Amino acid sequence: MLIIWYVPTKPAAFDSILRIQEQIPFGGLIRGMHKYGADAMIIAATMRLYRMFILADYKPGKEFNIAICFISLLLSMYSGLTGYLLIWNQRAFWATKVFATFPTYMDQFPVMGDFYLPLVKSLHMGWNTAEVLLGGGAAITQETITRFFSIHLAFSLIPLIFVELYFYKNSYRRIYLSWLKRSIIILMLVAVSIALPAAQGRRSNPDVTPLPILSDWYFLGLYQMYKYLEPVVATEITMLIPLSVVLLPFIDSWITGPEKDISKRPLIFMCTIMGGLCWIIFSYLIIVNIANIHTDPPYWRLFLYGLIDIGLFWQLYLMWQTKEVPQRLKNAKGAMIMAVVGIIQGLVAIAYYFMAKTEMFLSPLGQGFIYSLMRPFAGDSAQKAEGLVKELTKANPEYWNFHTLIEPSYIQKIGAPLSEGPLKELAKVCQNHTPVDLIFQLIPTFEPAPHASYNGLIDFMVTNRWCSDFLTLSDRLTKGVVPPYPLEVPTLDMIWMLLSAAVIAAALFVWWQSKESKPEPVKESKPAPQTVTSST
């Protein structure tokens, strides 16, 4: 019914919503039921996801149920996101603008990205994603509203058709509610729609940025997290959150086996509490517009990992208290998995330390570290390459496009901003061989010029700027960087790092203790004496 009067164009979208709300009979009521019914769907999907974790509905052997439930929640949320823009008011426009820019940061990811414009050309995953979903890259255009309108319908209608076919084929009952209860739910939506009409807001204005930029309620916590993080890191974490949710039931099954009692699964219990509290607290902070990117992150990092560590210590304590030898032997596997979790936490803590120390993102930081590990294989060639890279970097900011710079045609075109000597000498160094060249020669380049494949280790490291990242990392670790960096590692981050070490130690202790458990010897019972009878 809303589609009948809605016009999905930039000039008419806002006015058509206003007409539905004020002029069409019962239009405001229908729109309110549509909005609050969608909110109820998201609330119901969230409650079901939490219920599945708390009651371990994914056991035994049904861990992918979490993934299915989570996908239904994501479809609901992104259906809400696409529908939110259709109002075309100021708040919706700028909330979508924030989300529109994040896919483009995927191009700064290692390997798949092209932040350094390496010889290996990426698939431009980020920009292509933004182009497909939005139509105008990171801009909000008429193509964006057209695509959001079609995606909004698709996210609702296509899953609905598949669910209907599934229920029809298996002769399942669709809703386990009586008509009276269904009517009560509908009347609740009607009452809320009348008491709190769906907001209209002000017409979008691309020239005026509202402060703060707020999304619909279910994305508020995510927006607050974006304030605390660099866009690239925020994009990476946004992609890791769904992966973590899908992996959690498998981790729980590996640690606790078929156990469903939540009091005996404290790791999952603390993870669910952490997820709920983070969303509530972050949503509150963005509403009241509180965010200090220099002082707040250590607090929420410690809060996030601290709650997980409480769950890990609690789980390890229950394992340590177990008396049954068969169960103790099974606990050895779970303890080792928790040790791995502690190791991952420790590595992340170390990465945060060096990111604060050097003011470098995770990708160049990791690339510089990997280069330092591969450097011994290059011998004297590495030192020659590093000296030339330093010279080229100081003389020309265009060094990042090194593989284009060394092309003779490019040098002639721009009048050789660099002397050809260092460039050609560096190109010769890239031809030098190392014992591990075969590994890097197998890496495809996807670009024929200046050469179809890497010559080896040095060619790869120089062309993809890993050598430059190593020089930057070394320089900032020894000389420091421009104030206010390097940041001092806060005491709270030190606690986080110490907690990860404590988790590893405790997990290895429980693993060793469980591994050493020996079953009690079975006492052999003597057979009863047999009476021999004679027959006549």
Cis peptide, bond prior to residue 212, ω within 30 of zero = yes
Residue 117 binned pLDDT confidence (cut-offs 50, 70, 90): very low
| Range scoring the smallest mean pLDDT among 129-143, 363-377, 481-495 | 481-495
The answer to whether 293 touches 248, Cβ cutoff 8 Å, is no
Nearest one of 300, 307, 311 to 352, comparing CA atoms: 300
What tens digit of pLDDT does each residue of 194-223 get?
Answer: 999 998 888 988 888 887 788 888 888 888
Contacts of 180 (CB under 8 A, 6+ apart): none
What tens digit of pLDDT does each residue of 16-71 get?
Answer: 999 999 999 999 999 999 999 999 999 999 999 999 999 999 998 899 999 999 98
Residue 344 binned pLDDT confidence (cut-offs 50, 70, 90): very high
194/299 Cα distance (integer angstroms):
42
Evaluate the CA torsion angle 472, 111, 251, 337 in order and state its sign.
Answer: negative
- The yes-or-no verdict on residue 529 having pLDDT over 80 is no
Mean pLDDT of the residues in the chain: 82
- In this structure, the number of other CB atoms found within 10 A of the CB of residue 9 comes to 14
Instruction: Match 């009560």 to its residue by tokens.
Output: 184
Q: If you average pLDDT over residues 470-476, what whole number do you get?
A: 87
- Tell me if residue 453 falls in helix, strand or coil: strand
Share of the chain above pLDDT 90, in %: 33
pLDDT of residue 397: 52
Neighbour-count burial for 108-129, b at 16+ CB within 10 Å, e otherwise: bbbeebbbbbbbbebebbbbbe
* Assigned token pair, 285: 């902070």
- The yes-or-no verdict on residue 413 having pLDDT over 80 is no
Strand partners, 444: 453
495/303 Cα distance (integer angstroms):
11
Q: If you average pLDDT over residues 348-361, what whole number do you get?
A: 82
Return the domain boundaries, the chain.
362-479
Instruction: Match 């708390």 to its residue by tokens.
Output: 54
pLDDT of residue 81: 86
The contacts found for 479-487 with CB under 8 angstroms, 24 or more apart, are: 481/358, 481/359, 485/356, 485/358, 485/359, 486/356, 486/357, 486/358, 486/359, 487/294, 487/356, 487/357, 487/359
Q: If you average pLDDT over residues 260-270, what whole number do you get?
A: 94
Q: If you average pLDDT over residues 248-264, what whole number do you get?
A: 93
Evaluate the CA torsion angle 109, 115, 116, 117 in order and state its sign.
Answer: positive
| Rounded alpha-carbon distances, angstroms, from residue 520 to 16, 324, 326, 517, 526 | 78, 10, 10, 9, 19
Residue 233 binned pLDDT confidence (cut-offs 50, 70, 90): confident
- The yes-or-no verdict on residue 419 having pLDDT over 70 is no
Q: If you average pLDDT over residues 370-386, what whole number do you get?
A: 90
Q: If you average pLDDT over residues 497-505, what whole number do you get?
A: 93
421/405 Cα distance (integer angstroms):
12
What tens digit of pLDDT does each residue of 118-154 get?
Answer: 444 456 677 777 777 777 666 788 888 998 999 898 8
393/200 Cα distance (integer angstroms):
53
Q: If you average pLDDT over residues 388-409, what whole number do you get?
A: 59
Residue 410 binned pLDDT confidence (cut-offs 50, 70, 90): very low
Residue 250 binned pLDDT confidence (cut-offs 50, 70, 90): very high
pLDDT of residue 334: 92
| Rounded alpha-carbon distances, angstroms, from residue 244 to 108, 268, 371, 526 | 22, 12, 29, 56
Residue 399 binned pLDDT confidence (cut-offs 50, 70, 90): very low
> Which among 155-164, 411-420, 477-486 has the top mean pLDDT?
155-164
